[in-house]
Structure 1
């Protein structure tokens, strides 16, 4: 039945889903018109919100670009390529490849969302080199693992409210991760999704005559050619000692960060780890730079689109539109149903504000007073917003950009399969938040 349902979903998305750049332009217009019509903002005020906020994600944009580039460079090192190839060899057929890439992506995304995005996409490419499998579904399966990131170790909302001095500490205090990430209801939802997401992806596998395959030769990187060294500068470019004199201290810094100072994972640490592992494992600066040239080709979408999302977020937040959306959903909720409506409202807001931390800043002032008034469980409400933020990423191409860049596909190629996962995973998460 899922195979039958996925056919019209894939065809619908392929026909009507525009390129992510067109999608962000349309979202910009929708947010602007809604702010004028619903919030009674003047066109000049909306224009100022948009323009003033347009560059607010520059740091994050650079971080995301580095997730793509450093992850690609690391995966392009000989040891990592051998490891990915060895793991990919465990898949003996198309169905096994779909399940394996989904499980790897789910586990990696639960550890860290940036890590999961890059590892999932690169592993999908390696599987496609070894197994004859529908490439669209393979990459969609890799991306679907991203669904559980906000319930994992790098979830921005549960980590925020577990931090001393967070912006809502006077309302709810400090809530430990034992009540959010490691709570019974959250781990149960994660456990069910670890089973259901790979199963759903496997059941959507099209027949051979309907599948779209990729020539494995197109996925192969250019083989390194031996260079004859004739200049002193070329000796530096091919110097292992130079690479290791810089790369090894970088790894020692991370050892100090984790072991001696008890630091945790965040996006900067992940990028630092990927970069310095790549420096060491590529062995020479020349090999690293060659990998960099290949990696950077896929970053154009991130560079041009993220500023537009920053502008949309500014319109949504400063006009009051995001708060109005949240209030509309919770206005008819009870203590029992508030987690469900928090989840749904977060999913809708996420289409316009695709940032977990930014979304909590918008929705916390609405959700927390509602939870207090209704006597609802605050950690559950926080996780409902976190799950809603992660859930509609299956529909929002913002986070798929690094995956698509690595895989060489377009959003319309994978979003039909993600749409089926959206409905099934949404039902599972909603039931878990409401009844567990």
Structure 2
């Protein structure tokens, strides 16, 4: 039944969803027009917002590019390739491969979102090398696990409001993670998604006639030619000692960092991936060969993220994001505020695809409403967090690293993700409203 239900979504998206670059251009025009028409700003004012904010995500863009590159380099080491292949060997059929990649992605994303994006995509490729399975659904399944990240250990909103000195402390105080990430309603929601998302992906398997398979040979890493050492510089490029000295220095730093109670964040994930790759590749030459392969998929991140920074600047500076949130709050009650906070956050996330940035925009609207209505502030905060995570299923912004690693386009996976969006939206809404 779900295979039949997914088919029109897949065809619709394949036909009408443009390349993510075209999508972000269209999104820029829509937001620009909305700021002028709805917020009554002059075109020159909006143009100023857009241009001033265009480079606001440079640091984050580099982080995301490194997620792609360092994750790819680590995965191409013989040790990790072997581990992924052994784990992939647990799947004996296409259905098992779909479930396995979804569960691994869910676990990894709950631990850390950057880790989940890379691990899910790399594991999907490992499975596709062994199992004859629809490659589009396999990669979509890997990406669908990302939905739980904001209810997990690296959720930016619950961690922000649990940190002394956060910008809303005067209003709501410090809210511990026991009331957000580890609250009963949030754990129930995570558990339900751990059941529903793999099951839905399993039931969406297309028939053999409709399936799209990938040639396993195309997923293999290019072999590094044998080294010819004719110059002193060649000896350095093939030096095991040089790689291990630098690599173990990085690992020693990580031991010290975690020994002092440090937690996973995007920089630490990238640091971990990079220095493990340096050690496990063995020589600088092998690492650089892997880097050359990895960097080819990063073009989308480089060109598109500045446009999203410009969109975010217009949404925030023009007041458009706040107006959208206020409209939903205007007809909410104490019982329904969590639901409308979730839905409004999902819509705002299309234009402001950043958990921390979205909270900065919506908190000044949602928190006073929660206090005035007597709603549970921790639940409202998590409703915004889940809204942010929910529409990532159809937001190409976050899918770019996964698509680059897998070698697919957004239109190849978003049809399946669209059906996931509908089903998970119902589950999240019910839990936030009644649990």
Give the TM-score normalised by structure 1. Answer: 0.99
Quick one: distance in 1 between partners of 2:224 and 2:62? 29
Question: Partner residue of 2:99?
Answer: 99
Q: What does 1:11-410 correspond to in 2, within 5 Å?
A: 11-259=11-259, 261-410=260-409
**Deviation, structure 1 residue 395:** 1.0
Aligned residues: 435
Quick one: distance in 2 between partners of 1:327 and 1:188? 29
Quick one: distance in 2 between partners of 1:248 and 1:39? 55
Quick one: distance in 2 between partners of 1:411 and 1:228? 41
Quick one: distance in 2 between partners of 1:143 and 1:33? 32
Question: Partner residue of 1:430?
Answer: 429
1:419 and 2:418 are equivalent in the alignment: yes
Quick one: distance in 2 between partners of 1:79 and 1:168? 46
**Deviation, structure 1 residue 249:** 1.0
CA offset digits 1:174-203 (Å, max 9, x no partner): 111111001100010000000100000000
Q: Which runs of 5+ in 2 are unaligned?
A: none
Quick one: distance in 2 between partners of 1:174 and 1:247? 39
**Deviation, structure 1 residue 270:** 0.6
**Deviation, structure 1 residue 226:** 1.7
Quick one: distance in 2 between partners of 1:182 and 1:226? 52
Quick one: distance in 1 between partners of 2:182 and 2:238? 47
CA offset digits 1:77-134 (Å, max 9, x no partner): 1110000000000000100000000000000000000000001001001100000000
Quick one: distance in 1 between partners of 2:431 and 2:223? 49
**Deviation, structure 1 residue 265:** 0.9
**Deviation, structure 1 residue 230:** 1.6
Give the TM-score normalised by structure 2. Answer: 0.99
CA offset digits 1:266-285 (Å, max 9, x no partner): 11111101000000111100
**Deviation, structure 1 residue 160:** 0.5
Q: Tell me the SS of whatever aligns to 1:241.
A: helix
Quick one: distance in 1 between partners of 2:164 and 2:240? 44
Quick one: distance in 2 between partners of 1:296 and 1:222? 14
Quick one: distance in 2 between partners of 1:199 and 1:377? 31
Quick one: distance in 2 between partners of 1:106 and 1:217? 28
Quick one: distance in 2 between partners of 1:249 and 1:174? 37
**Deviation, structure 1 residue 167:** 0.5
**Deviation, structure 1 residue 227:** 1.2
CA offset digits 1:299-348 (Å, max 9, x no partner): 00000000000000000000000000000011101111000000000000
**Deviation, structure 1 residue 228:** 2.4
Q: Tell me the SS of whatever aligns to 1:421.
A: helix
**Deviation, structure 1 residue 224:** 2.4
Quick one: distance in 1 between partners of 2:42 and 2:243? 56
Quick one: distance in 2 between partners of 1:382 and 1:74? 35
Q: Tell me the SS of whatever aligns to 1:133.
A: coil
RMSD: 0.5
